[in-house]
């Protein structure tokens, strides 16, 4: 839940998603779900020369499982809070059946 | 696909609701959890198909739809009514309605009357979806998690036509048979039938211009449906629909107009459109693959995964983040389920025009989510599934329970429930910064980290506790009161244990943050101390300020026990804690606790406290003086006075006496210092001292005595503006640099640049000086710089010129070379004559200043002119034997430093000795040029007797800058200083004046540095002592014998030390004299 919770706060921010096939896409994060599927808007491939076919695409849906990295805008990340959240997560019983 | 009208869910509700039909037998098992637990979708679909049959086999079955429990007949009635109302309205406004009506009828018949057709491939959901969105064909309608992607860009090409096409496309499916209009055959016979239908429909709509009407009626049907079901749509909803109607009217008109235009162009556009449509068709091939209920279904799955009882537990980051950034969490979700964790899933819909379809979708979602949440509460979530007959168990993974990759045996959760009363993030980060290794050995790095983690855990626990704070109890509700009490207990317990936990970390902080007596602390360190003081101390202070003596004693005992008190007390933080405890205990002892409703301390506690106090006192005895930060470091030492005051209050007479004996020197020095400072600073200093003296029972009058007694020996004189100017014995030997000149000639700038390292271009912003600024410069020789305001005439009778000029020193007269200097010359002349009369020993230096803007030739001319004029004038007054030195200076290059160097060199009695030493050094080591620099001001104290050229001076002084800068970055700071005996020695030598040079200490003591220049020369720097550094310039060939150079240098260093040893002895003698006089004061105090 932490990642989902985290990515939700990034909605509306510009992120760069690196896929496992080495394609990197920059765009505005429109939405994300608990599988960390990602929807981007106003996208642009980082290496447009290599992926010219991406130039025609304006928005995309990325299945969470194909994401390798997501580059975040540093300003939108509250690291102290993230630490707290991680602690909280770690504290929770791992069985996950909290409620 | 399982579908029903308007995307209302047919699958889930019967499975779930109690009034469902016989099919719900199996459904019960699945409940809502089916979705959550990711049970096979095929199963669900099967189930759903069954339901399909069940649901759609008979129109009446629609009534069993989960929330819309009314019978379909009713609905149909309402719809009809609604429709009639609508039609009536329509007819009154528009003209050709007959056709429309007839057209609408059949379509309704198709929808409502003819059951089998209705359900055809679920397209009716689109009608639902589009209902509220006449003009919104490209706005997202579904409340799906993914929202909708933007419409393909091709859609925007064709003005209004696409809209109509779009609409028609959505509306076609229910009408499996072409409408009875006898419109021409399909335009494109080749395409699949739905497509041709669409096109026909499109044509049809274009002819009639009515598509929106049907939508409207459907919209109203929906409204009716909602109201029939006893779920009145939100007011906004209704308003929206009426707005919609008018809006649609307008649009219809517009549409008609455009349509006319279109007809004209039709022929032209036809083939274009055909192309476009082909494209569109391709694009829209998969439109409608997912029906609304499919989307809802997925949404439900998503939501069911995300719902949680406590969003703060599962969605902590998002919740707090939005709270912090004060971003509104999406209203859509928070309205229907404040506890819903997954509030982000509709974020993309914010700010967009929301269609009615999504409104109703939201409503449905709302109900479903509520149900899901309730169910989730009722039954605990399954984490594994054991099937009958299976050998093992199947673990069910979910978002919150992902498949475990590592099996770490978790020990019993012995989480310390501790945490500070306010868990601010900065506190955390503070702790985390300092996982230093304790000197105690028992506490290793890991343990410290662990304890820090514990504090965190405690903070989190405490936060959670706070959130769950029970409401204030109502009277007569015992269980509530009990809850509150229990909460309070828990809270207090946590806060207390937190405190103890914090102790461990705090000790480390103190250790890291210590600034010893002479600590030159790096800025980063200072920042950390500051941070700690600002974040950690206040809450603790608050806590202590409310605790009874018992707790204070406990904490105080812990503090003393766990820390090396002498060490810790040297730090500001440590003292702050001690002061805090002492003062609190004192307040409690004197019955201050009564105001807070605390009982007076018991006898036993008093004894305990006294024990602790005595222990502290004995620990600190002989160290009181070391508590002070060094003079001149620019730190307010008020906190030390506060501490001493707190100590003194509780001290016995004997202890008081010890205290006074130890710190009397500091008291005296502070008073002396205060008298030299401006009035407000002085009063601040005196107030600090008073703080302590008052606590000793000495009041202000006694302090006066103290001062009087002191002043008997000092004979202060008044200089005009009422400032006292006591001259202590040391001062007599302190040369004085008097900087005078016309106003705005650059006196203060010079002073700032040379002695304060102010960048030259910042001097522009200096305010004009309006009183005499006296400054002690502490270096290997101490001297005072007096900066006079230009506009005051010091030869007024109000000023005691004896006082000003009587001392040994130099008068620097600054002339602005860029200005008209005639007046300045007059004044210079006047000043020189008067000052000479007062003190013939004064040396006169004239700085022809601001020459940076002048050309070389002009500089020389100016100097000659000034020199000529002033000598002439002095000659007129028979003062030709008065020697004036002229310097061309500018703060933008090294000339000002050089000039100052020469001025100061004259004030150094040891100069010949030093020059001699340097000469010997140069001669024996093959050094071309050697400077003895004062590191702080970059003034050179002495150089060998070879001529000084500007370049070599500049490069040497630049080198000092380089070294100082580098050592500030890489140099070790305080730690080594404490272990350095030499250093301690020099500390006491220059008592109270050390320490403001940052890392230059290193530069001075044993620093050395070598820079090879590319012209074959070598720059070599060696630290001589705290203030001095030798910089020499030598050929690289000569440097090969650097063992010899080192040796020579060592000798030189010793020689210098010898020279200044003499001076130090003198100073010490002076100090002893002063001591004698303080004894008197002390008798006063002690007796």
Nearest to A95 among B315, B348, B401 (CB): B401
Query: Which stretches of B651-678 are DSSP H helices?
Result: 653-676
More confident residue, A54 or B159: A54
Chain A residues within 8 Å of chain B (Cβ atoms)? 1-2, 4-6, 8-9, 11-12, 30-35, 39, 41, 58-59, 61, 78, 80-85, 87-89, 91-92, 94-99
Nearest to B317 among A9, A35, A92 (CB): A9
Average pLDDT, integer, range B146-165 = 42
Task: Judge: B302–A33 Cβ closer than 8 Å, yes or no.
Answer: yes
pTM comes to: 0.34
How would you list the strands of the sheet with B1017-1023, edge to edge? B939-943, B927-934, B1028-1035, B1017-1023, B1008-1012
Residues of chain B neighbouring A31 (CB-CB closer than 8 A): 145-147, 344-345, 347-348
| Pair of tokens at residue B778 | 């502490």
Q: What is the count of structural domains for chain A? A: 1
Phi-psi region of B30 (alpha: psi -120 to 50; beta: other; left: phi over 0): alpha
Nearest to A98 among B145, B313, B402 (CB): B313
For residues B72 and A1, give the distance between their C-alpha atoms in angstroms, rounded to a whole number: 42
Q: What is the DSSP letter of B109?
A: I
Task: Judge: B313–A6 Cβ closer than 8 Å, yes or no.
Answer: no
For residues B100 and B116, give the distance between their C-alpha atoms in angstroms, rounded to a whole number: 24
| Pair of tokens at residue B16 | 């779930």
Task: Judge: A99–B428 Cβ closer than 8 Å, yes or no.
Answer: no
Nearest to A88 among B344, B429, B460 (CB): B460
- How confident is the model at residue A14, as a pLDDT? 93
Nearest to A99 among B377, B425, B426 (CB): B377
Residues of chain A neighbouring B382 (CB-CB closer than 8 A): 97
Query: Which stretches of B389-475 are DSSP H helices?
Result: 425-433, 445-467
Find out whether A96 and B314 touch, Cβ atoms under 8 Å: no
Predicted confidence (pLDDT) at residue B755 exceeds the cutoff of 50: yes
Backbone phi, then psi, for B447, in 5-degree steps?
-65, -40
Find out whether A84 and B425 touch, Cβ atoms under 8 Å: yes
SS3 category, B751: helix
- How confident is the model at residue B88, as a pLDDT? 60
Residue found by looking up tokens 């969470």 in the block: A64
Count residue pairs from A and B with Cβ separation < 8 A.
Answer: 128
Task: Judge: A9–B398 Cβ closer than 8 Å, yes or no.
Answer: no
The enclosing domain of A90 has a CATH number of 2.30.30.100
| Pair of tokens at residue B450 | 């662990």
Residues of chain B neighbouring A92 (CB-CB closer than 8 A): 313-314
Predicted confidence (pLDDT) at residue B585 exceeds the cutoff of 50: yes
Quick one: CA dihedral B660, B666, B671, B674, positive or negative?
negative
Domain carrying residue A30 = 2-95
Task: Judge: A91–B425 Cβ closer than 8 Å, yes or no.
Answer: no
Average pLDDT, integer, range B601-617 = 80
Task: Judge: A30–B348 Cβ closer than 8 Å, yes or no.
Answer: yes
How wide is the angle at C-alpha B389 spanned by C-alphas B387 and B394, nearest 5°?
35
Nearest to B344 among A8, A35, A58 (CB): A8
- What band does B407 get if pLDDT is binned at 50, 70 and 90? low
| Pair of tokens at residue A1 | 């839940």
Predicted confidence (pLDDT) at residue B183 exceeds the cutoff of 50: no
Predicted confidence (pLDDT) at residue B1045 exceeds the cutoff of 50: yes
Q: Name the residue among B779, B731, B734, B724 with its Cα closest to residue B754.
A: B779
Average pLDDT, integer, range B185-200 = 45
| Pair of tokens at residue B33 | 């959890």
- How confident is the model at residue A23, as a pLDDT? 93
Predicted confidence (pLDDT) at residue B42 exceeds the cutoff of 90: no
More confident residue, B644 or B478: B644
Q: Name the residue among B1007, B1002, B987, B999 with its Cα closest to residue B524.
A: B999
Quick one: CA dihedral B439, B441, B442, B443, positive or negative?
positive
Q: Determine which of B38-52, B872-886, B890-904 has the lowest per-residue pLDDT on average.
A: B38-52
Mutate to test the interface with A, among B341, B393, B400 (most CBs of A within 10 A): B400
Average pLDDT, integer, range B294-304 = 78
The alpha carbon of residue A10 is apart from the nearest alpha carbon of chain B, in Å, by 9
For residues A45 and A53, give the distance between their C-alpha atoms in angstroms, rounded to a whole number: 9
For residues B278 and B195, give the distance between their C-alpha atoms in angstroms, rounded to a whole number: 10
- How confident is the model at residue B156, as a pLDDT? 40
Mutate to test the interface with A, among B302, B318, B423, B535 (most CBs of A within 10 A): B318
Task: Judge: B315–A1 Cβ closer than 8 Å, yes or no.
Answer: yes
Residues of chain A neighbouring B316 (CB-CB closer than 8 A): 2, 5, 84-85, 88-89
The alpha carbon of residue B350 is apart from the nearest alpha carbon of chain A, in Å, by 11
Q: Determine which of B276-290, B310-324, B504-518 has the lowest per-residue pLDDT on average.
A: B504-518
In terms of CA atoms, which chain B residue is nearest residue A90?
B457
Find out whether B786 and B704 touch, Cβ atoms under 8 Å: no
What pLDDT, in 10s, does the model give residues B660-697?
A: 777 777 777 777 777 666 677 777 777 777 777 777 76
- How confident is the model at residue B501, as a pLDDT? 62
How wide is the angle at C-alpha B302 spanned by C-alphas B296 and B303, nearest 5°?
85
Find out whether B605 and B552 touch, Cβ atoms under 8 Å: no
Find out whether B507 and B433 touch, Cβ atoms under 8 Å: no
Q: Name the residue among B739, B764, B904 with its Cα closest to residue B814.
A: B739
For residues B312 and B810, give the distance between their C-alpha atoms in angstroms, rounded to a whole number: 72
What pLDDT, in 10s, does the model give residues B916-952?
A: 888 888 888 888 888 888 887 788 888 888 888 888 8
Instruction: Give the bridge partners for A60, in sequence order.
Output: A40
Task: Judge: B347–A8 Cβ closer than 8 Å, yes or no.
Answer: yes
Mutate to test the interface with B, among A4, A7, A61 (most CBs of B within 10 A): A4
| Residues sharing a CB contact under 8 Å with residue B469, sequence separation 6 or more, in sequence order | B487
B394-400: Cβ within 8 A, 24+ apart: B396/B37, B396/B38, B397/B38, B398/A96, B398/B36, B398/B37, B398/B38, B398/B305, B399/A1, B399/A4, B399/A34, B399/A35, B399/B305, B399/B306, B400/A1, B400/A96, B400/A98, B400/B314
Nearest to A91 among B398, B404, B457 (CB): B457
Nearest to A31 among B145, B153, B315 (CB): B145
- How confident is the model at residue B377, as a pLDDT? 64
- Beta strand pairing call for B809-816 and B736-741: parallel
Burial of B888 by CB count in 10 Å (0-12 exposed, 13-18 middle, 19+ buried)? buried
- How confident is the model at residue B428, as a pLDDT? 40
The alpha carbon of residue A75 is apart from the nearest alpha carbon of chain B, in Å, by 12
More confident residue, B849 or B541: B849
């Amino acid at each position: 839940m932490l990642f989902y919770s985290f990515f939700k706060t990034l909605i509306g921010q510009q992120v760069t998603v690196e896929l496992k096939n080495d394609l990197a896409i920059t765009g505005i994060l429109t939405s994300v779900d608990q599988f960390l599927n990602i929807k981007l808007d106003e996208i642009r491939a980082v290496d447009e020369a290599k992926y010219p076919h991406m130039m025609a695409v304006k928005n995309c849906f990325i299945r969470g499982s194909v994401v390798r990295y997501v580059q975040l805008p540093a300003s939108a990340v509250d690291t102290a809070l993230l630490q707290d959240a991680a602690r909280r997560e770690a504290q929770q019983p791992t069985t996950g059946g909290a409620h | 696909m399982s579908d029903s009208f308007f995307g209302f869910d047919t699958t889930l509700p019967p499975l779930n609701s109690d009034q469902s039909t016989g099919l719900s037998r199996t459904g019960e098992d699945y409940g809502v959890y089916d979705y959550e637990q990711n049970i096979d979708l095929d199963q669900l679909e099967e189930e759903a198909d069954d339901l399909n049959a069940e649901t759609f086999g008979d129109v009446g079955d629609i009534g069993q739809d989960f929330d819309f429990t009314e019978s379909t007949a009713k609905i149909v009635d309402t719809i009809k009514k609604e429709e009639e109302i609508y039609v009536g309205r329509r007819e009154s406004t528009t003209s050709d309605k007959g056709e429309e009506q007839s057209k609408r009828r059949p379509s309704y018949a198709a929808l409502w009357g003819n059951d089998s057709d209705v359900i055809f491939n679920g397209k009716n959901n689109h009608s639902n979806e589009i209902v509220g969105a006449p003009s919104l064909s490209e706005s997202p309608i579904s409340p799906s998690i993914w929202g909708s992607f933007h419409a393909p860009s091709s859609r925007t090409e064709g003005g209004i036509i696409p809209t109509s096409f779009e609409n028609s496309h959505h509306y076609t499916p229910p009408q499996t048979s072409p409408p009875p209009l006898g419109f021409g055959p399909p335009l494109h016979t080749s395409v699949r039938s739905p497509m041709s239908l669409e096109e026909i429909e499109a044509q049809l709509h274009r002819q009639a211009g009515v598509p929106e009407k049907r939508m409207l009626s459907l919209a109203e049907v929906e409204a009716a449906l909602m109201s029939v079901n006893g779920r009145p749509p939100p007011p906004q909803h209704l308003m929206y629909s009426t707005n919609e109607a008018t809006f649609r009217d307008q649009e219809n008109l517009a549409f008609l107009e455009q349509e006319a235009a279109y007809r004209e162009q039709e022929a032209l556009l036809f083939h274009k459109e055909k192309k476009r449509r082909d494209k569109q068709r391709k694009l829209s091939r998969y439109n409608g693959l997912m029906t609304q209920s499919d989307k809802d279904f997925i949404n439900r799955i998503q939501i069911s995964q995300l719902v949680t009882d406590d969003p703060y537990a599962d969605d902590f980051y998002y919740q707090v983040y939005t709270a912090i950034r004060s971003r509104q969490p999406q209203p859509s979700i928070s309205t229907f389920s404040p506890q819903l964790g997954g509030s982000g899933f509709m974020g993309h819909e914010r700010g967009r025009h929301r269609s009615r379809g999504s409104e109703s979708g939201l409503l449905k979602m709302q109900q479903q989510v509520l149900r899901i949440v309730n169910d989730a509460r009722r039954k605990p979530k399954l984490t594994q599934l054991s099937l009958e007959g299976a050998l093992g168990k199947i673990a069910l993974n979910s978002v919150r329970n992902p498949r475990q990759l590592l099996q770490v045996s978790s020990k019993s959760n012995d989480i310390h429930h501790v945490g500070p009363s306010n868990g601010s993030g900065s506190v955390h980060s503070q702790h985390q910064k300092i996982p230093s290794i304790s000197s105690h050995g028992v506490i290793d790095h890991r343990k410290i980290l662990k304890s820090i983690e514990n504090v965190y855990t405690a903070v989190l626990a405490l936060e959670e506790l706070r959130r769950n704070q029970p409401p204030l109890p109502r009277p007569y509700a015992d269980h509530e009161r009990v809850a509150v009490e229990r909460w309070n207990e828990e809270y207090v317990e946590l806060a207390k244990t937190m405190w103890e936990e914090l102790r461990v970390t705090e000790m480390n902080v103190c250790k890291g943050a210590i600034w010893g007596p002479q600590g030159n602390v790096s800025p980063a360190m200072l920042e950390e101390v500051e941070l700690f003081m600002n974040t950690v101390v206040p809450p603790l202070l608050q806590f202590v300020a409310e605790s009874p003596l018992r707790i204070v004693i406990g904490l105080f005992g812990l503090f003393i026990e766990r820390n090396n008190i002498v060490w810790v007390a040297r730090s500001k933080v440590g003292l702050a804690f001690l002061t805090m405890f002492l003062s609190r205990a004192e307040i409690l002892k004197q019955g201050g606790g009564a105001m807070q409703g605390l009982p007076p301390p018991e006898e036993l506690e008093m004894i305990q406290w006294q024990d602790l106090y005595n222990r502290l006192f004995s620990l600190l005895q002989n160290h009181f003086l070391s508590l002070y930060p060094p003079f001149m470091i620019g730190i307010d030492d008020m906190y030390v006075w506060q501490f001493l005051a707190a100590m003194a209050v509780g001290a016995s007479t004997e202890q008081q006496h010890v205290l006074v004996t130890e710190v009397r020197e500091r008291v005296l020095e502070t008073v002396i210092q205060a008298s030299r400072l401006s009035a407000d600073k002085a009063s601040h200093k005196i107030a600090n001292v008073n703080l302590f003296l008052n606590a000793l029972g000495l009041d202000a009058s006694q302090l006066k005595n103290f001062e009087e007694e002191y002043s008997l020996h000092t004979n202060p004189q008044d200089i005009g503006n009422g400032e006292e100017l006591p001259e202590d014995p040391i001062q007599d030997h302190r040369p004085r640099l008097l900087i005078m000149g016309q106003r705005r000639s650059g006196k203060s700038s010079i002073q700032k640049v040379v002695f304060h390292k102010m960048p030259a271009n910042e001097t522009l912003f200096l305010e004009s000086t309006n009183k005499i600024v006296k400054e002690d410069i502490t270096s290997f020789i101490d001297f005072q710089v007096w900066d006079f305001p230009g506009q005051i005439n010091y030869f007024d009778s109000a000023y005691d010129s004896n006082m000003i000029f009587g001392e040994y020193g130099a008068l620097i007269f600054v002339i602005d070379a860029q200005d008209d200097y005639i007046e300045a010359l007059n004044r210079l002349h006047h000043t020189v004559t008067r000052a000479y009369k007062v003190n013939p020993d004064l040396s006169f230096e004239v700085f022809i200043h601001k020459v940076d803007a002048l050309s070389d030739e002009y500089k020389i001319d100016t100097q000659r002119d000034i020199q000529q004029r002033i000598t002439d004038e002095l000659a007129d007054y028979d003062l030709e034997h008065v020697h004036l030195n002229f310097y061309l200076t500018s703060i933008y290059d090294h000339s000002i430093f050089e000039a100052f160097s020469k001025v100061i060199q004259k004030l150094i009695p040891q100069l010949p000795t030093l020059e001699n030493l340097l000469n010997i050094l140069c001669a024996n080591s093959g050094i071309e040029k050697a400077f003895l620099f004062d590191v702080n001001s970059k003034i050179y104290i002495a150089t060998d007797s070879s001529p000084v050229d500007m370049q070599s001076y500049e490069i040497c002084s630049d080198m000092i800058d380089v070294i100082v800068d580098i050592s500030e970055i890489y140099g070790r700071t305080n730690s080594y200083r404490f272990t350095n005996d030499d250093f301690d020695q020099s500390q006491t030598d220059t008592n109270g004046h050390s320490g403001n040079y940052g890392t230059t200490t290193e530069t001075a003591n044993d620093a050395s540095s070598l820079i090879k220049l590319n012209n074959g020369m070598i720059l070599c720097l060696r630290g001589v002592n705290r203030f001095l550094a030798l910089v020499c310039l030598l050929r690289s060939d000569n440097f090969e014998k650097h063992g010899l150079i080192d040796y020579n240098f060592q000798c030189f260093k010793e020689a210098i030390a010898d020279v200044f040893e003499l001076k130090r002895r003198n100073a010490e003698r002076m100090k002893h004299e002063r001591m004698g006089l303080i004894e008197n004061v002390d008798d006063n105090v002690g007796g």
